[in-house]
Every structure is written in C-alpha cells, then in structure tokens.
Chains A and B, each alone.
Chain A
Amino acid sequence: MDIRPILFTLRKHKLTCCLLVLQIAFTCAIVCNTIFLIGQRLDRIHIPSGIAERELVYVELSNIGGRTDGMARAAQDMAALRQIPGVTVVTLPNEMPFDNGSNNMDVRTDPNQRVATLDATQYFGENLVKTFGVQLVEGRDLLPEEYVDLTDVFTMLANKQYDKLPHSTLITRDMAERLWPGQDPLGKQFYVGPGMPFTVVGVMANLIRPGRDRMSNGAGYSSVWPVRLTLEQGDGYILRCAPEDRDRVLKAALEKLRANDPNRIVTAKGTMEEHRHEFFQNDRAMAGILVGVCIALLVVTALGIVGLASFWVAQRNRSIGVRRALGATRGNILRYFQTENFLLTSMGIGLGMVLAYGINLFLIVHYELPRMPALYFPVGALILWTIGQVAVLGPALRAAAVPPVVATRSV
C-alpha cells in the first residue's frame, strides 16, 4: 500500500497528529517502565525460600518480668511441643525467614582483608535445619555435641576465649559460591569479627535471609550456627508438621505453652505461609496499583485513538465517498485507516522508546533500580500496536461502510 497519500493527509493535521503521537509515546514509555516495575515486584514476591513453608507454624511469646532459668524452661517447652501428635520436630531460632529484623555479620575470607566479602545472616537454634526442611547438598548437619548456649558464647567472647567457641557452621550454596567461586567450600574457613575463624561443615541448597533491607545484599546469604537460645533470646517456637495438621497443631501448641507457664503473652502466631504473605504485602499492593495505572493508561489511549479516528472519519466522509465512487473497495478504505493508525503508532513508539529509556535512567539514578532489560521495549511496542489497531477498527469499519453515493450529495 502506498503510504504517500496518507502522509500527505496527515500533514494537514500536524498538531492533532503530533498530540496523538506524543500521547502514544508517553503511554509506551510509561507502560514499558511500569511492566518492568511490576515484574520486579513479582520476582521479589516469588523468591524461593529453601524452607518447607507449607509445613511450619510458629508461636512467639513474651515473658512478664525477667527469668533466670531460661535454658531449662526452653527445653521444657520444646519437650512439651514435641509431644503434640503430628509434630515431627521443633526449634527455637533467633530469627525467622520473612521477619523484618535480622541478625547479621560481616564475612571475610582472609582475616586481614580490609573490606568484607559479604554480609550474611546468622541463624541459631537447635534442630533448625531439620525443622526448616532446608536441604543439605554437601557435608553434614551440625552435631548435638557441637551446640553451646548463647549466654556461654557471650562469656567466651568477653573473656577472649575464642578457641572455646563452636567452630562449625553451615552456609548456603549462594554464599559459598560468592566466598570461594568454583571451589569446594567444605572444610574451608571464613573469618568473622576480630579474625575469628569458622569452618564450613555443610552446604545448604538455599535458605532465605530475613529483613527486607538486607535482601538486596544477597537474599540467599545465610549461615546456621550451633548455638542454643533461651526464649528471651529467641524469636519464638517453630514447629514442623504435615500441612493439613497446621491449625490443630497450632492450637495444641498454644495450650501446651499456656499449661507450662500461664504468665506469658503470645505476641504472634500463625503459619509460615501467612508470615510470608504478610511480608510481601507491600510488594503485592504496589504491583496491584501499577497494574491498575497501566490499564487505565492503555484504556485512555485507546479511547483517545477511537475519538480522533471517529472524528477524522466523520470529517472525511465526503472524500471517502468520492474514493469509493472512483472505484476504491471497502477493503481499501479499511486498510487506509489501519495503515494511518499504524504509521502514527509507530512514530509514537519510536519516540516512546527513547522516553522509556530516559525514564529508566531517571529511576536508576533516583531510586536505585536496575537497568531495564531490552526485552521490555518490544513488549511495550507490541502492546501499543495491538491497542492502536483494536481501537481504530471501529471507526475504520464505519469509514468502510460509507456508501459511494455520499460523493454526490451535499455538493
């Protein structure tokens, strides 16, 4: 199809065309970036945790006043919780995945290294690997005889008895790969604090770290240590059971804990799935808002195209009639308007790509967002072309329906 007559016509409506192109360009730029932002949220929401999320329930408690026999009381609580039918294993960790607070350390591969290689979270707690259902890919789990009480750890640190500290630790594959790329991490040592060496005895497939603010540093940089806690030092009890038993187990756990000591307050309870859901609430909300804005934007642009196209069709009623009278088929007229729209949309998309890149740069500079992958550009273009063609179809069909006889009227 010859596009020269179309271009010639469009030149008669310079400003209107410019506005339409501008609108399409803006829409294209914003849609590209919005889809990118939505994708980022979804990636974050669906991040794999490496734990048996569907099999965990938790209870967080708070004591009234201080207690001295913390260790014995925690052991008593856990023994009671283990007796609940359906519960396979129980732990009292210092932190949970999808918590907002977190316990972290700087890790060096050389004690004299000035800048730490990475920072990773530290999980403490007996039976933590088994309870969380974390998969060990290499080495072994921590042994019961390796465990020490956190209170003793503090004493050892205070007295500088670093050699008495437990030396074994488990790390994730992500962390191992970052510390010693391409090497076998088993038996390797890393250094924490004032050059204290620790040995990797096992490698976990994956274990997500808590803390929204820390996730960008490496969501899978986690380590597990042979340290036992009291309830005050810990985050709360985590119980593992079959997914269908969770409600019953949670109820039973609350009863057992109340029976052990009625003077405690349950500060939080629920399943790990709920905990994860809550953690990503913000991201889901943001994705929702962005999808809403995106749809509104496309609808408005589509309506704008419909409006202008209808307008032009009405305006050119007579010339369409003349063309029909001179032998143009309905198809010719239809294609004329479709091509016209395609041209305008393409111009808009061209300009929009430049704008999209600009907006992305702006977001990179101001909001520390990553660069948008090139894939998003053709996606945006495709959406705009489709919207344009769909929007123009109605007015174009109406134009095609103009009978040739119109040419003879109104003169």
Chain B
Amino acid sequence: MLGYYVDLAVRSLKRSPGLTALMILAIAFGVAASMTSYSVFRAVSGDPIPWKSAHLYVPQIDMWGQKGHRDGSSNNDPPDAMDYLDAIALMRDHRAKYQSAMYAISPSIVPPDASKHPINVGGHAVYSEFFPMTDAPFKYGSGWSSAEDTQRAAVVVLNGEINQKLFGGGNSVGKTVNIDGKDYRVVGVLDNWSPKPVFFDVVNTGGFTTGHEDVFIPFLRAIDIGMPNNGNTNCSEIPKSSGFVGLQQSTCVWISFMVELDDKAAAAAYREYLDGYARDQKQAGRFSWAPNNRLRDLHEWLDSEHVVPSDTQISLVVALGLLVVCLVNTAGLLLAKFLRRSSEIGVRRALGAPRMAIYTQFLIEAAIVGLTGGVLGLLLTWIGIHSVSWVLPKEIASLARLDIGLLLLTLLVAVVATMLAGLYPTFRASRVQPALQLKSN
C-alpha cells in the first residue's frame, strides 16, 4: 500500500512541477539558513568541557569596594579578575579540591638550532593543579608536582604544536627549552589542546583568540623572574610603585582564578569561605565594605562574561524567523494544492477508502516534499557552512562544522515541519463529503 501512495504522491507532484519546486526550494532555503546559523551558534556557545563544567567555578572577590566599580554597572559585580594579594591568599588557603591562579604570558623561545629565529609564543603561568582540574590531555609525561610549584622549578609543559616545531613532535620529556634566555625542563607535552572557548581564562582571551596556548610554566616561578603579564590589567587606582612588582602590590586585577568543587555542598562551603575571607580582610582594615563575592559555575561565568557574541545570537533569531517564514510558505502552498483535490478525495472515499488512508496518502506526499527539501537544504547548508569562512573571522568559522548530529537534525526538522504544515490541509481534505464532491462534477 505504501508503495502505491508514494507512486500517487509522485504523480501528483509531477502534475504541477513549478509549485512542487517552489515548496521544495522554500524548505531547502529555510533549513539551510537556520542550520548554518545554528552550527555557528553551537560552535561558539559549545561547552568546552561538558563532563566537568558543572564542577568548575570562578570566584570573584570585591577588593575595590563601591568606589572602584564602574559607574553604570548596575549589578554591583566585583571585578572579574583577581589582584595578586588575594589570588595568593586563596591559593595558600587551598580550600577547593583543585584550584589555580593563572595569568597570560608571552615569552620568546630561542630554538636549540641557532640558525632559526627566536619565536614568540603564548601561554599561561599556572599552578600544578591546573592540569588535573582542566583535564588537559597529555601525550607525553604529565604536569609538575605541587612541590615544584613552591620550589619555583624551571619546568614547562608544551602544547603539541610548539613541540612539533621544536622537537619534531617526538617525546621531548626531560629535554631542555630556552624560554626568555633561561633553560626549562620539559615535564609534559599536551595533545594539541585548544579548548574553545578558552574557558580557563576568558578575561584575557575573550573566549576566542587565534593566539595559541603554547607553554605553561609554574605561576610562582613566572612571578619570581618577573615574566610580565600579557593579558588585561584593570585598576581602580594607580599602583603605588612602578613595574611588575608595583603591580603585585597593587589592587589592580590581572589574575584569573578557577576552582574545582565536587558538589553543591562543597560550593556552598567555598562560598562561606570566601565571605569569611572578605570579613577577615575587613577586620584587618583592608576592606571597608561588606563582603561582596561571587562564585559562578562555568556556565554562569561564560554567560556573565558575554562569551557568546550577541551577533551570533541575533543571526540565529533571524535565521529561525526565516525557517518559520519558509514553513508558513510551504503550508500555504500545500493547503492550496490539497484543497483543490477535493474531487479526487471524493472519488476515493466513495470507492471505500477510509479517512486513515486519505491521511496516509497526503502525509506521504507532504513527507516527500519535506524530505526532498531537507536533502536539498542539506546541500545548501554544506555550501553555507563552507562560505561562512569567507565572511566570518577565522577563529569562529573554523569551529563551524557540519556533523552527523546536525545532518540528522536537518532532515528531521525538514520532514517534521512539512508534515506539520501538511497536517491541516490533510485534515480538511479528509473531511470532504464524498457525495457532495461527486455531485458537483
């Protein structure tokens, strides 16, 4: 029976090829536009560490007080980064399962081969717990130990790409790298780790950057040798003394901080601890205001830092609008087409076809339109995603990929949407009184 209905549907569609093409094109257009936007949107808002994002938190402490807050910031939010003093205090107290203060660095590496030019690399100065906390994937070796944190050891973790450049991609653990004129021992090599967005340091990267995370060195060592901060610095007042040391003594914020907490209870306890810390600071006379802290989990944090560009969200809204218009369009055309076939339905009903059969026949016809539109839409989506790289900045466009999930979703949306669009006309068509239709001819 199904084969017969398909045959009928194809015949009917062939009878008005222009209209059929229109319906198919409309669906294809709508599906392609919304799916292209969706894939861009998902690429940008995608969870970089889905298995753990609920356990990662970013603490914020108000070390500026009311006077330091930007005028017009209505929510009284504390600064989104930390000053040196508080970051070190939080690290010393060590209240979370894992925690790390970090700041962006941009040192130069002098290759062992003297004929090669020195290269400028990007990276972060972090604590040893950074690696287990972020689940950074190691190809060789591992991170350094907490003892090496306090010893300010000259150790480095390389990312895959720079390891490729310096050591041809081999196991370089134990070898030496010259960073800013000093020798560092390689303890681990990451497997081309580049989470998007760069969730552990949103403040300095804006989430998306073309810069690389090439090297990671111990935080305290970087401070000791005065490796300058390559990220943002925000001050509520001018540092009392100059240079990097002055920055460390100031209340300027330039350090990112992240902690891992196992459950809600741990998060509540940590929140308690932060408030206690702020109260202690108030008692010590450093703060003259009530504790004003935040502890956001990774999702809330990315959201509060506006990591998903509002541009992408707007384009998604616009594209969804386009899909709606296309579906309404198809519904209108299907309706017109189906209602015209009252006499055909009348004949079939008079010959004994039950309502169910009419439903099946017409829904199959709608589904064929939807499926064809979906497949064509898929093709257009593929073209769309490839042309996105023409217009979008590289760092976002390279993330937008057509994957199997998206592919199936595309087809499903097309078919379901058309069948929904075909439902009402079918309902109307199956209500036609057979006798009435036969009479009128």
Contacts and interface: CB of A to CB of B under 8 A. Distances in A.
A296 B29 contact: yes
Given A16-B336, A158-B239, 13 more contacts: A19-B331, A26-B321, A29-B321, A30-B322, A64-B181, A154-B242, A154-B243, A157-B239, A158-B240, A193-B238, A265-B119, A308-B333, A311-B19
Main secondary structure of the interface of A (DSSP, over half): helix
Nearest to B326: A300
A101 interface: yes
Interface in B378-417: 388, 391-393
Interface in A287-314: 288-290, 292-293, 296-297, 299-301, 303-304, 306-308, 310-312
B238 A65 contact: no
Interface stretch (A241-249, A278-286, A373-381): A278-286
Contact of B392 (A37, A62, A115, A285): A285
B266 interface: no
7 contacts: A20-B332, A64-B110, A154-B242, A158-B239, A285-B392, A288-B391, A289-B37
A367 B313 contact: yes
A197 B99 CA distance: 43
Contact of A64 (B118, B240, B242, B324): B118
A23 B332 contact: yes
B26 A157 contact: no
A307 B24 CA distance: 12
A64 B329 contact: no
A30 B332 contact: no
B420 to A, nearest CB: 13
A363 interface: yes
Interface residues of A, number: 62
A338 interface: no
A281 B324 CA distance: 29
A315 B315 contact: no
Interface string B256-280: 0000000000000000000000000
A13 B243 CA distance: 78
B106 interface: yes
A257 to B, nearest CB: 14
A297 B325 contact: yes
B36 to A, nearest CB: 9
Contact of A16 (B23, B117, B332): B332
Nearest to B209: A100
Interface in A2-41: 13, 15-16, 19-20, 22-23, 26-27, 29-30, 33-34, 37
A151 interface: yes
B246 interface: yes
A157 B324 contact: no
Contacts of A26: 321, 324-325, 328
A88 interface: no
Given A285-B392, A296-B33, A307-B22, A27 B325 contact: yes
B174 interface: no
Interface string B197-239: 0000000000000000000000000000010100010000111
Nearest to A119: B70
Interface string B179-204: 01100000000000000000000000
B310 interface: yes
A267 interface: yes
Given A30-B321, A299-B29, A300-B29, A193 B108 contact: no
Interface string A147-171: 0000100110110000000000000
Contacts of A158: 239-242, 246
A154 B246 contact: yes
Contacts of B328: 19, 22-23, 26
A194 interface: yes
A311 B336 contact: yes
B315 A289 contact: yes
A151 B242 contact: yes
Interface in B320-348: 321-322, 324-326, 328-329, 331-333, 335-337, 339-340
B22 A306 contact: yes
B22 A304 contact: yes
Given A157-B238, A281-B393, A367-B314, A297 B322 contact: yes
A197 B310 CA distance: 39
B145 interface: no
A34 B120 CA distance: 42
Given A115-B71, A154-B242, A363 B314 contact: yes
A169 B288 CA distance: 34
A116 interface: yes
B285 interface: no
B332 A19 contact: yes
A19 B393 CA distance: 38
Chain B, interface residues (CB within 8 Å), range? 35 or more
Given A285-B391, A311-B19, A315-B340, A62 B106 contact: yes
A33 B319 CA distance: 13
A399 B311 CA distance: 45
Contacts of A285: 391-393
B108 A64 contact: yes
Contact of A293 (B181, B315, B339, B424): B315
A303 B246 contact: no
A66 interface: yes
Contacts of B119: 265
B321 A154 contact: no
Contacts of A296: 29, 33, 322
Contacts of B337: 311
Interface in A31-84: 33-34, 37, 62, 64-66
A194 B239 CA distance: 12
Given A157-B240, A306-B22, A308-B336, A62 B108 contact: yes
A310 B337 CA distance: 11
A152 B432 CA distance: 92
Nearest to A293: B318
B333 A30 contact: no
A157 B239 CA distance: 8
Contact of B329 (A23, A101, A154, A293): A23
A22 B321 CA distance: 12
A319 interface: no
Contacts of A386: none
A55 to B, nearest CB: 27
A265 B120 contact: yes
B203 to A, nearest CB: 12
Nearest to A61: B120
B311 A15 contact: no
A290 B318 contact: yes
B25 interface: yes
A130 to B, nearest CB: 28
Nearest to B181: A65
Interface in B95-112: 106, 108, 110
Nearest to A212: B206
A263 interface: yes
A368 B72 CA distance: 14
Q: Which of A151, A289, A315, A368 has the most CB of B within 10 A?
A: A289
Interface in B2-43: 18-19, 22-23, 25-26, 29-30, 33, 37
A193 B252 CA distance: 13
Q: Which of B25, B30, B337, B392 has the most CB of A within 10 A?
A: B392
